[in-house]
Protein backbone atom coordinates (compact mmCIF):
# COMPACT_ATOMS: atom_id res chain seq x y z
CA UNK A 1 0.00 0.00 0.00
CA UNK A 2 1.38 3.40 -1.00
CA UNK A 3 0.14 6.79 0.13
CA UNK A 4 1.48 10.30 -0.08
CA UNK A 5 0.63 13.75 1.22
CA UNK A 6 1.84 16.66 3.36
CA UNK A 7 1.91 15.07 6.80
CA UNK A 8 3.82 16.15 9.87
CA UNK A 9 6.73 14.12 11.05
CA UNK A 10 5.49 13.03 14.40
CA UNK A 11 5.74 9.33 13.74
CA UNK A 12 4.73 6.26 15.66
CA UNK A 13 5.59 2.85 14.32
CA UNK A 14 4.24 0.04 16.41
CA UNK A 15 3.39 -3.64 16.15
CA UNK A 16 3.71 -6.96 17.98
CA UNK A 17 7.44 -7.02 17.27
CA UNK A 18 8.35 -3.43 16.50
CA UNK A 19 8.27 -0.22 18.51
CA UNK A 20 9.84 2.88 16.98
CA UNK A 21 8.79 6.37 18.06
CA UNK A 22 10.21 9.33 16.14
CA UNK A 23 9.65 13.06 16.25
CA UNK A 24 11.32 14.77 13.32
CA UNK A 25 10.98 18.00 11.34
CA UNK A 26 9.46 17.89 7.90
CA UNK A 27 6.53 16.53 5.88
CA UNK A 28 6.00 12.92 4.86
CA UNK A 29 5.70 12.59 1.09
CA UNK A 30 5.51 8.79 0.83
CA UNK A 31 4.32 5.96 3.03
CA UNK A 32 4.55 2.45 1.58
CA UNK A 33 3.76 -0.72 3.52
CA UNK A 34 3.88 -4.42 2.70
CA UNK A 35 3.10 -7.42 4.94
CA UNK A 36 6.03 -9.29 3.40
CA UNK A 37 8.98 -8.01 1.38
CA UNK A 38 12.72 -8.43 0.95
CA UNK A 39 14.91 -5.39 1.56
CA UNK A 40 18.66 -5.32 0.96
CA UNK A 41 20.61 -3.46 3.65
CA UNK A 42 24.09 -2.11 3.00
CA UNK A 43 26.54 -3.49 5.56
CA UNK A 44 29.69 -1.73 4.40
CA UNK A 45 31.15 0.76 1.92
CA UNK A 46 31.76 0.01 -1.74
CA UNK A 47 34.25 -2.80 -2.32
CA UNK A 48 35.58 -3.49 -5.81
CA UNK A 49 32.76 -1.48 -7.37
CA UNK A 50 29.92 -3.15 -5.44
CA UNK A 51 28.03 -2.47 -2.21
CA UNK A 52 28.06 -5.39 0.26
CA UNK A 53 24.43 -6.04 1.22
CA UNK A 54 22.45 -8.48 3.28
CA UNK A 55 18.81 -9.39 2.55
CA UNK A 56 16.17 -9.12 5.28
CA UNK A 57 12.66 -10.49 4.82
CA UNK A 58 9.55 -9.49 6.75
CA UNK A 59 6.86 -6.82 7.03
CA UNK A 60 8.20 -3.66 5.46
CA UNK A 61 7.46 0.05 5.81
CA UNK A 62 9.11 2.72 3.69
CA UNK A 63 8.87 6.39 4.65
CA UNK A 64 10.12 9.39 2.72
CA UNK A 65 9.87 12.97 3.88
CA UNK A 66 11.25 16.37 3.07
CA UNK A 67 12.83 18.82 5.50
CA UNK A 68 12.82 22.45 4.39
CA UNK A 69 15.56 23.74 6.70
CA UNK A 70 18.12 22.20 9.04
CA UNK A 71 21.66 22.91 10.18
CA UNK A 72 23.22 20.23 7.97
CA UNK A 73 22.70 16.68 6.76
CA UNK A 74 25.11 15.56 9.50
CA UNK A 75 23.00 17.23 12.20
CA UNK A 76 19.80 15.77 10.76
CA UNK A 77 21.27 12.27 10.76
CA UNK A 78 22.46 12.81 14.33
CA UNK A 79 18.90 13.56 15.45
CA UNK A 80 17.67 10.31 13.91
CA UNK A 81 20.56 8.35 15.37
CA UNK A 82 19.82 9.56 18.91
CA UNK A 83 16.15 8.68 18.64
CA UNK A 84 16.51 5.21 17.16
CA UNK A 85 19.17 4.37 19.73
CA UNK A 86 16.85 5.50 22.52
CA UNK A 87 14.26 3.08 21.10
CA UNK A 88 16.64 0.14 21.42
CA UNK A 89 18.28 0.07 17.99
CA UNK A 90 22.03 -0.41 17.66
CA UNK A 91 23.77 1.16 14.66
CA UNK A 92 25.59 -1.57 12.74
CA UNK A 93 27.01 0.52 9.91
CA UNK A 94 27.09 4.19 8.94
CA UNK A 95 28.92 6.23 6.35
CA UNK A 96 28.92 9.61 4.62
CA UNK A 97 29.26 10.41 0.90
CA UNK A 98 32.83 9.50 -0.07
CA UNK A 99 33.37 7.10 2.83
CA UNK A 100 30.29 5.23 1.56
CA UNK A 101 31.65 5.04 -1.96
CA UNK A 102 29.98 8.03 -3.62
CA UNK A 103 28.25 7.31 -6.93
CA UNK A 104 28.70 3.53 -6.75
CA UNK A 105 27.14 3.39 -3.28
CA UNK A 106 24.16 5.54 -4.24
CA UNK A 107 23.32 3.32 -7.18
CA UNK A 108 24.10 0.11 -5.30
CA UNK A 109 21.37 0.54 -2.65
CA UNK A 110 17.58 0.56 -2.84
CA UNK A 111 16.37 4.14 -3.32
CA UNK A 112 13.06 5.48 -4.58
CA UNK A 113 13.64 7.22 -7.92
CA UNK A 114 13.54 11.00 -8.24
CA UNK A 115 11.56 13.11 -7.69
CA UNK A 116 10.13 10.96 -4.87
CA UNK A 117 13.59 10.68 -3.32
CA UNK A 118 16.52 12.83 -4.36
CA UNK A 119 20.13 12.03 -3.46
CA UNK A 120 22.86 14.66 -3.73
CA UNK A 121 26.01 12.74 -4.67
CA UNK A 122 28.12 15.32 -2.82
CA UNK A 123 26.16 15.31 0.48
CA UNK A 124 24.43 12.20 1.82
CA UNK A 125 24.57 9.86 4.83
CA UNK A 126 23.49 6.25 5.32
CA UNK A 127 23.11 3.94 8.28
CA UNK A 128 21.71 0.54 9.16
CA UNK A 129 20.56 -0.42 12.65
CA UNK A 130 19.16 -3.50 14.36
CA UNK A 131 16.92 -4.09 17.35
CA UNK A 132 17.70 -7.60 18.58
CA UNK A 133 14.80 -7.55 21.04
CA UNK A 134 12.19 -6.88 18.35
CA UNK A 135 14.02 -8.71 15.54
CA UNK A 136 13.69 -5.54 13.49
CA UNK A 137 16.16 -3.70 11.27
CA UNK A 138 16.13 -0.35 9.55
CA UNK A 139 18.07 1.61 6.99
CA UNK A 140 18.21 5.38 6.83
CA UNK A 141 19.33 7.59 3.96
CA UNK A 142 19.64 11.35 4.53
CA UNK A 143 20.58 13.69 1.69
CA UNK A 144 20.68 17.35 0.84
CA UNK A 145 18.04 18.19 -1.77
CA UNK A 146 18.45 21.68 -3.17
CA UNK A 147 18.08 24.11 -0.26
CA UNK A 148 16.51 21.44 1.98
CA UNK A 149 16.90 17.75 2.75
CA UNK A 150 15.20 14.44 2.00
CA UNK A 151 15.09 11.29 4.12
CA UNK A 152 14.26 7.69 3.23
CA UNK A 153 13.72 5.17 6.01
CA UNK A 154 13.05 1.46 5.50
CA UNK A 155 11.89 -0.58 8.50
CA UNK A 156 11.73 -4.37 8.38
CA UNK A 157 10.02 -5.84 11.44
CA UNK A 158 9.39 -9.28 12.82
CA UNK A 159 5.61 -9.00 13.15
CA UNK A 160 3.10 -10.99 11.11
CA UNK A 161 1.79 -7.81 9.53
CA UNK A 162 3.41 -4.56 8.50
CA UNK A 163 3.95 -2.09 11.36
CA UNK A 164 1.21 0.45 12.00
CA UNK A 165 2.06 4.06 11.17
CA UNK A 166 0.34 6.98 12.87
CA UNK A 167 0.92 10.52 11.58
CA UNK A 168 -0.51 13.90 12.51
CA UNK A 169 -1.57 16.61 10.10
CA UNK A 170 0.90 19.44 9.86
CA UNK A 171 0.37 23.02 10.92
CA UNK A 172 3.82 24.04 9.87
CA UNK A 173 5.82 26.66 11.77
CA UNK A 174 8.46 28.53 9.82
CA UNK A 175 11.48 28.19 12.08
CA UNK A 176 12.75 31.60 11.06
CA UNK A 177 9.37 33.28 11.48
CA UNK A 178 7.88 32.08 14.75
CA UNK A 179 8.27 35.57 16.19
CA UNK A 180 6.30 37.02 13.30
CA UNK A 181 3.66 34.31 13.75
CA UNK A 182 3.27 35.20 17.42
CA UNK A 183 3.10 38.92 16.68
CA UNK A 184 0.50 38.39 13.95
CA UNK A 185 -1.67 35.64 15.46
CA UNK A 186 -0.76 35.66 19.14
CA UNK A 187 -0.40 31.88 19.17
CA UNK A 188 1.58 29.09 17.50
CA UNK A 189 1.42 25.31 17.76
CA UNK A 190 4.69 23.53 18.49
CA UNK A 191 3.99 20.63 16.13
CA UNK A 192 7.34 18.90 16.51
CA UNK A 193 6.87 18.67 20.31
CA UNK A 194 4.95 15.40 20.73
CA UNK A 195 3.87 13.19 23.62
CA UNK A 196 2.55 9.66 24.05
CA UNK A 197 -0.78 9.09 25.81
CA UNK A 198 -0.36 9.64 29.54
CA UNK A 199 3.23 10.89 29.25
CA UNK A 200 4.82 14.26 29.94
CA UNK A 201 8.24 13.18 28.64
CA UNK A 202 9.53 14.86 25.50
CA UNK A 203 9.80 12.32 22.69
CA UNK A 204 12.99 13.72 21.16
CA UNK A 205 16.15 15.63 22.02
CA UNK A 206 16.06 18.32 19.32
CA UNK A 207 13.14 20.55 18.35
CA UNK A 208 13.28 23.03 15.48
CA UNK A 209 10.33 25.03 16.81
CA UNK A 210 11.83 25.39 20.30
CA UNK A 211 15.20 26.46 18.93
CA UNK A 212 13.45 29.09 16.81
CA UNK A 213 11.38 30.20 19.81
CA UNK A 214 14.49 30.51 21.97
CA UNK A 215 16.22 32.57 19.29
CA UNK A 216 13.22 34.91 19.11
CA UNK A 217 13.05 35.36 22.90
CA UNK A 218 16.77 36.10 23.05
CA UNK A 219 16.38 38.73 20.34
CA UNK A 220 13.25 40.19 21.97
CA UNK A 221 13.90 40.23 25.75
CA UNK A 222 10.75 42.30 26.28
CA UNK A 223 8.54 39.48 25.01
CA UNK A 224 6.96 36.96 27.39
CA UNK A 225 5.08 33.79 26.52
CA UNK A 226 2.82 31.20 28.11
CA UNK A 227 3.15 27.56 27.15
CA UNK A 228 -0.27 25.89 27.23
CA UNK A 229 -0.41 22.11 27.48
CA UNK A 230 -3.22 20.01 26.01
CA UNK A 231 -4.20 16.34 26.22
CA UNK A 232 -6.43 13.90 24.41
CA UNK A 233 -9.72 12.88 26.03
CA UNK A 234 -8.48 9.66 27.63
CA UNK A 235 -9.47 9.73 31.33
CA UNK A 236 -11.05 12.35 33.59
CA UNK A 237 -10.57 16.10 33.32
CA UNK A 238 -8.68 16.80 36.55
CA UNK A 239 -5.77 14.38 35.95
CA UNK A 240 -5.61 15.56 32.34
CA UNK A 241 -5.28 19.18 33.47
CA UNK A 242 -2.38 18.13 35.70
CA UNK A 243 -0.82 16.14 32.84
CA UNK A 244 -1.18 19.00 30.38
CA UNK A 245 0.51 21.40 32.78
CA UNK A 246 3.32 18.88 33.28
CA UNK A 247 3.78 18.79 29.51
CA UNK A 248 3.93 22.57 29.32
CA UNK A 249 6.40 22.64 32.21
CA UNK A 250 8.58 20.03 30.47
CA UNK A 251 8.81 22.34 27.46
CA UNK A 252 9.48 25.33 29.73
CA UNK A 253 12.35 23.53 31.44
CA UNK A 254 13.79 22.51 28.06
CA UNK A 255 13.77 26.15 26.92
CA UNK A 256 15.42 27.31 30.15
CA UNK A 257 17.96 24.55 30.80
CA UNK A 258 18.82 23.47 27.25
CA UNK A 259 18.39 26.66 25.24
CA UNK A 260 19.16 29.38 27.78
CA UNK A 261 15.82 31.19 27.81
CA UNK A 262 15.20 33.46 30.81
CA UNK A 263 12.72 31.85 33.21
CA UNK A 264 11.02 35.24 33.60
CA UNK A 265 9.97 35.11 29.95
CA UNK A 266 8.18 31.75 30.10
CA UNK A 267 5.12 30.56 32.04
CA UNK A 268 3.47 27.13 31.84
CA UNK A 269 -0.20 26.23 32.20
CA UNK A 270 -2.45 23.30 31.29
CA UNK A 271 -6.10 22.99 30.27
CA UNK A 272 -6.46 19.25 29.70
CA UNK A 273 -8.78 18.21 26.87
CA UNK A 274 -10.95 21.35 26.87
CA UNK A 275 -9.60 22.78 23.59
CA UNK A 276 -9.17 19.94 21.06
CA UNK A 277 -7.82 20.68 17.60
CA UNK A 278 -9.12 17.37 16.18
CA UNK A 279 -11.56 14.58 16.99
CA UNK A 280 -10.68 12.40 19.98
CA UNK A 281 -12.46 9.46 18.33
CA UNK A 282 -9.43 8.48 16.22
CA UNK A 283 -5.82 7.75 17.11
CA UNK A 284 -4.69 10.40 14.62
CA UNK A 285 -6.93 13.02 16.25
CA UNK A 286 -5.79 12.12 19.74
CA UNK A 287 -2.16 12.43 18.64
CA UNK A 288 -2.86 15.95 17.35
CA UNK A 289 -4.55 16.90 20.62
CA UNK A 290 -1.52 15.90 22.74
CA UNK A 291 0.34 19.14 22.17
CA UNK A 292 1.79 22.33 23.58
CA UNK A 293 0.92 25.76 22.20
CA UNK A 294 2.80 29.00 22.77
CA UNK A 295 0.90 32.24 23.42
CA UNK A 296 2.44 35.71 23.36
CA UNK A 297 1.44 37.38 26.65
CA UNK A 298 3.67 40.46 26.69
CA UNK A 299 5.74 42.45 24.25
CA UNK A 300 7.87 45.55 24.50
CA UNK A 301 6.64 46.80 21.14
Residues 163 and 225 in one domain: no
Residues 14 and 103 in one domain: yes
Last residue of one domain, picked from the residues 146, 168, 190: 168
Residues 33 and 160 in one domain: yes
Mean pLDDT value across residues 95-124: 90
Percent of the chain past pLDDT 70, that is, above it, reads 82
Q: Would you state the pLDDT for residue 285?
A: 75
Residue 3's beta-bridge partner residues? 31
Residues 125 and 274 in one domain: no
Please give the model's pTM, rounded to 2 decimal places: 0.53
The domain containing residue 57 runs over which residues? 2-168
Maximum mean pLDDT: which of 21-35, 142-156, 199-213: 142-156
pLDDT at 241 over 70: yes
Between residues 121 and 171, the one the model is more confident about: 121
Counting beta carbons within 10 angstroms of the beta carbon of residue 222, is it exposed (0 to 12), middle (13 to 18) or buried (19 or more)?
exposed
Query: Contact 142/2 with Cβ under 8 angstroms?
Result: no
Q: Would you state the pLDDT for residue 205?
A: 67
Q: Would you state the pLDDT for residue 204?
A: 64
Q: Would you state the pLDDT for residue 198?
A: 78
Last residue of one domain, picked from the residues 168, 190, 213: 168
CATH number for 199: 3.30.1330.60
- Tell me how far apart the terminal alpha carbons of the chain are, to the nearest angstrom: 52
55 three-class SS: strand
Residues 161 and 58 in one domain: yes
Residues 30 and 133 in one domain: yes
Q: Would you state the pLDDT for residue 255?
A: 95
| Strand 266-270 relative to strand 224-229, pairing | parallel
How many domains are contained in the chain? 2
Residues 231 and 103 in one domain: no
- When pLDDT is cut at 50, 70 and 90, the band that residue 72 belongs to is confident
Residues 153 and 12 in one domain: yes
Residues 71 and 220 in one domain: no
pLDDT in tens, 250-273: 999 999 999 999 999 999 999 999
Residues 142 and 264 in one domain: no
Query: Contact 89/83 with Cβ under 8 angstroms?
Result: no
**Residue 272 neighbours by CB under 8 Å, 6+ apart:** 230, 231, 237, 238, 240, 241, 243, 244
pLDDT at 226 over 80: yes
Q: Phi and psi dihedrals of 190, rounded to 5?
A: -90, 80
Average pLDDT value for the chain = 81
CATH number for 79: 3.40.1000
Dump the DSSP string for 227-295.
Answer: EEE---SSS-HHHHHHHHHHHHHHHHHIIIIIT---GGGEEEEE-TTSS-SS-TTSHHHHHHHS-EEEE
Q: Would you state the pLDDT for residue 54?
A: 93
Residues 187 and 257 in one domain: yes
Last residue of one domain, picked from the residues 152, 168, 184: 168
Q: Would you state the pLDDT for residue 171?
A: 39
In Å, how far are 24, 56, 212, 214, 294 from 176, measured between CA atoms?
A: 17, 41, 6, 11, 16
Residues 208 and 65 in one domain: no
Amino acid sequence: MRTAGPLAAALLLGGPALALDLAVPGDITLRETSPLAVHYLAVGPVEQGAVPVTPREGPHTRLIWGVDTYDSSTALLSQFREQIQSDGFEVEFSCATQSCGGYDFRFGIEVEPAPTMFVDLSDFHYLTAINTTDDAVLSLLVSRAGTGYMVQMDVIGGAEAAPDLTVTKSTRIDASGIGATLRADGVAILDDVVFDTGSASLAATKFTSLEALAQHLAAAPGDAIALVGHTDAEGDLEPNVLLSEARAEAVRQYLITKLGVSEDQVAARGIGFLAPRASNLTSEGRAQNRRVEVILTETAE
